[in-house]
Structure 1
Amino acid sequence: MPNALANLTGQRVLVTRPAHQAAQQIQQLRDCGATPIPLPLLAIHPIEAADPRYHLLKTQMMNIDEYQIIICVSPNAAKLAIEWIDEYWPQLPVGIEWLAIGGKTEAMLNDAGIPAKRPAEGFNSEAMLTMPTLTELNGAKVLILRGDGGRATLAEGLSQRGAIVTYANLYDRCCPTYEDTLIQSTIYQSSLTSILITSGEALDNFVTVVKGRQQQFSINSLLSLYLVVPSERIAEKARTIGFTTIMVAQGPDDESMIKALTLANDSEANA
């Protein structure tokens, strides 16, 4: 655990990452002395063979050698893309520029033998568009590996630079459903002090989920909790919802999110 992370003893922190991605963040919070409260706000469902979209996806993954640039937008996309490639490409095709949004996505691809690069700074589409590789794209074929929906800014920017952009939708992102009794005990009766949210979609799902199945719970008591988000765009969205104490982390990775929580905690202690 980085030395920069301070003591968070007494903090009860809502962890909202998908269940299969939350373990490291939960452990880091425990190492800081905090009590993590898990409530996944995104469920990841890979496209299965029975899905009508499966045939197109299979065709795209069997023909990745047709693309000059392939961009992987998330660790979920990286994990599933690696599985597809292992299935159909015993030897990785040459001549493809592999790019990744975020250090974790880059590391997953590199660990699988896929030589990916990421932006020097930033974790979003705007950062990706600053990469020199994407400056002049006259007629270049670009495949974006993603979950269904999202990343319109990236595709629009690439198209404006002359790229021919195709999406490969590897999975769906869904809002989980929870029993009202679990929401009561996890959210309203657990003395939360802060919330970690890593995407605008997760923020929307948070508001939906914590209102209960019949939208019967008021979220007013939650709006003054520390809310840690990875970008000013999501912070602005949170302000429109009514959150009043928002910390913007340097990125959505675990270390940046917990460091922002540490800064919020230090600010409160010194107020």
Structure 2
Amino acid sequence: MIYPIYDNTQCELTDLRVLITRPATQANTLIQMLNEAHAIPRLLPMVAIHSRFDDPSLTLALNAYDAAEYLIFTSVNAVTHAIMAIKQAKKQWPPSKIIFAVGSTTRDCLQDQGCTEVIIPDGKFCSENLLHKIASYPIRDKLMIIFGGAHPRSLLESTLKKQNAQVLHAICYERHQEVIKMDLTQQHELLDSIDVFVFTSDEILVCFMQIICDELHDQLFKKPFLIISRRMHQTLQRMGYTKSPIIADNPTDSGIMAALTHWYEEYHHG
């Protein structure tokens, strides 16, 4: 089930034990919100974020930066690492260009960095809806730079190229799996100490499953999982997870809190 808007004035998650598996650099706000709701958050990052300032695609994009009319940022990580690279290259920031972001958190990060006008999708924050938004702009033969991470979905770039835009995809960061080793006793203790598991990408979900031994999967799959898309639900089903997961309407901290709060209310009062 997908849940509605988060209202922090009515959020109460007393003693709910929540495992956060996203990168540590992206977890602080969610941890703070959970603490304010009297939940008990625990952080176990599955991946870490590293810059790719020497990537040839980024070098190419920075060389073409002045000529670009549109910039697209696919994540907060893209904003953070792209701006560092842009400033190191002594390029103009904030730029006099049309700027798109894939969601509200990415937009907020850009605005914190001086961009007053940032365009985001209507409705659900995803590449498909961002493309609908971009479609109203004259992009034919215009240079667009997409700032993102390694191994991206190809939808944005391929669709824009089909619309005859000139597109450069600049890889400015990558994810690395954290090395986490737990013996069977520690795995049991982890599963017993958590009420809800939060996963914000397929990659993070797969990494987590790799640290839990097969014989504990049945125990793990009895727990509620919170995920951020129906596509992730398909991944869960392929893994053998048969419960109905909690699905956040969007991957923002507020979206996750809204889903968690409404699930909690239904679970305890429904």
Number of positions where the alignment pairs a residue of Structure 1 with one of Structure 2: 262
Give the distance between the partners of 2:71 and 2:216, measured in 1 at CA: 44
Q: Spell out the pairing of 1:107-186 with structure 2 (5 A cutoff).
A: 107-114=108-115, 115-132=117-134, 136-181=138-183, 184=187
Name structure 2 gaps, 5 residues minimum.
1-5
Give the distance between the partners of 2:189 and 2:10, measured in 1 at CA: 25
Question: Could you tell me which residue of structure 2 aligns to residue 6 of structure 1?
Answer: 11
Question: Could you tell me which residue of structure 2 aligns to residue 208 of structure 1?
Answer: 210
Q: Spell out the pairing of 1:83-102 with structure 2 (5 A cutoff).
A: 83-89=84-90, 91-92=92-93, 96-102=97-103
- Asked if the contact 2:53–2:172 (Cα under 8 Å) also holds between the matched residues in 1, the reply is no
Q: Show CA shifts across 1:194-243 (max 9, x none).
A: 111112222222222333xxxx6532211121111121111222222222
Aligned Cα root-mean-square deviation (Å): 2.4
Q: Show CA shifts across 1:62-98 (max 9, x none).
A: 4312222211000001001111222223534865221
Q: Show CA shifts across 1:1-30 (max 9, x none).
A: 943553211211011121011111111111
Give the distance between the partners of 2:233 and 2:210, measured in 1 at CA: 18
Report 1 or 2 for greater relative contact order, CA contacts < 8 Å, sequence distance ≥ 6: 2
Q: Show CA shifts across 1:159-182 (max 9, x none).
A: 222222221001111221202149
Which one-letter code corresponds to 1:163 in the other structure? A
Distance 1:260 1:94, change over 3 A: closer
Give the distance between the partners of 1:79 and 1:15, measured in 2 at CA: 21
Give the distance between the partners of 1:80 and 1:94, measured in 2 at CA: 16
**Structure 1 residue 184, shift from structure 2 partner:** 1.9
Give the distance between the partners of 1:198 and 1:130, measured in 2 at CA: 24
Give the distance between the partners of 2:63 and 2:189, measured in 1 at CA: 44
Give the distance between the partners of 2:37 and 2:266, measured in 1 at CA: 17
Mean alpha-carbon deviation: is it higher for 221-230 or for 173-182? 173-182
Name structure 1 gaps, 5 residues minimum.
none
Aligned with 1:219: secondary structure?
helix
Distance 1:104 1:3, change over 3 A: closer
Give the distance between the partners of 2:144 and 2:91, measured in 1 at CA: 22
- Asked if the contact 2:100–2:119 (Cα under 8 Å) also holds between the matched residues in 1, the reply is yes
Q: 2:23 aligns with which of 10, 18, 43?
A: 18
Mean alpha-carbon deviation: is it higher for 156-165 or for 244-253? 156-165
Distance 1:87 1:247, change over 3 A: same
Question: Could you tell me which residue of structure 2 aligns to residue 228 of structure 1?
Answer: 226
Give the distance between the partners of 1:166 and 1:146, measured in 2 at CA: 11
Distance 1:60 1:136, change over 3 A: closer
When normalised by structure 2's length, the TM-score is: 0.87
When normalised by structure 1's length, the TM-score is: 0.87
- Asked if the contact 2:182–2:211 (Cα under 8 Å) also holds between the matched residues in 1, the reply is no
Aligned with 1:82: secondary structure?
helix
**Structure 1 residue 258, shift from structure 2 partner:** 1.4
Give the distance between the partners of 2:103 and 2:41, measured in 1 at CA: 24
**Structure 1 residue 136, shift from structure 2 partner:** 4.9
Question: Could you tell me which residue of structure 1 aligns to residue 246 of structure 2?
Answer: 247
Distance 1:73 1:132, change over 3 A: closer
Give the distance between the partners of 2:77 and 2:128, measured in 1 at CA: 20
Question: Could you tell me which residue of structure 1 aligns to residue 3 of structure 2?
Answer: none
Give the distance between the partners of 1:171 and 1:186, measured in 2 at CA: 34
